[in-house]
Amino acid sequence: MSRRPLVAGNWKMFKTRGEALAFADGLKQGLGTSGDVEIAICPPFTSLDVLASAFAGSGVGVFGQNGHEDANGAHTGEISMEMLVDAGASGVLLGHSERRADNNETDQALARKVPAALAAGLTPVLCIGESEFERDSGTTKAVLDRQVLEGLSGVAIGDFAKVVVAYEPIWAIGTGKSATPEIAQEAHRWIRDQLREICQDAADQIRILYGGSVKPENAAELLSQPDIDGALVGGAALEPDSLLAIAAAATS
Ligand code: 13P
């Protein structure tokens, strides 16, 4: 089963609109060198529409970093899935560990957000991953099971193939300490086996991205693992050249 790799750059809370446009110029100049890989940028909300316009026709997607499950309502500071679509987004990150920690985002909330994203036509990227304490105490697989099963509990059986899962061990995020290819592959295989329990053969179509200190230097080895279908990149996605190098590694 071949899955088209996806390399997504999560900008977190970085870049003004002017900086985002300068990045888009640089990325577009290097496109075409990276082979058959889907590239998406997840900027702060303020840059969604300018980036969507800058990337129009280039094949590069623009994803939100969060979305609310309601179409609209009294939720100060929130943005709905429909608003993301209106701003030009084609996907959305959901449940990033920084949001789980900073904004108390729960598996129950994610169980509502994932179907809302699908209903709006967005590709949901459900982010999961264990902490260092959980890994050291031997509960990694239980944590991943809970995050996958609860986070995807609202997805209709026919929609599973559209879902993307990002495995981001918290201890590898922003630390420079990436998971080894063996550790990452073992977790990805485990996640796909759990997905098979809930959606049968569609599990082979679901792309599972690895995230956590992915750089041009370690991308090829990570992305050559059989169950790693792309990367969710933080720091190394802030410069066009390093993101392009990672995208090229995804197809090599
Ligand atoms: P880094 O690539 O900076 O470790 O960040 C990973 C991440 O959190 C992407 O969502």
* Residue 1 within any structural domain of the chain: no
* Mutational test site, ligand 1, from 14, 102, 213, 218, max ligand atoms within 8 Å of CB: 213
For the chain, the domain total comes to 1
| Model pLDDT for residues 111-165, shown as the tens digit of each residue | 999 999 999 999 999 999 999 999 999 999 999 999 999 999 999 999 999 999 9
Ligand 1 centroid vs 158 CA: distance in angstroms? 30
| Model pLDDT for residues 185-207, shown as the tens digit of each residue | 999 999 999 999 999 999 999 99
Q: How confident is the model at residue 6 (pLDDT cuts 50, 70, 90)?
A: very high
Q: Are 173 and 213 in contact (CB under 8 A)?
A: yes
Output DSSP code: residue 179.
Answer: P
Query: If you average pLDDT over every residue of the chain, what do you get?
Result: 97
Ligand 1 centroid vs 240 CA: distance in angstroms? 16
Give the residue numbers spanning the domain of 201. Answer: 6-249
Q: What is the CATH number of the domain that holds 237?
A: 3.20.20.70
pLDDT of residue 34: 65
pLDDT of residue 165: 98
* Residue 106 within any structural domain of the chain: yes
* Mutational test site, ligand 1, from 94, 214, 218, 238, max ligand atoms within 8 Å of CB: 214
Q: 63 CB contacts (<8 Å, ≥6 apart)? A: 8, 40, 41, 42, 89, 90, 91, 92, 93, 122, 123, 125
Whether this model's pTM surpasses 0.95: yes
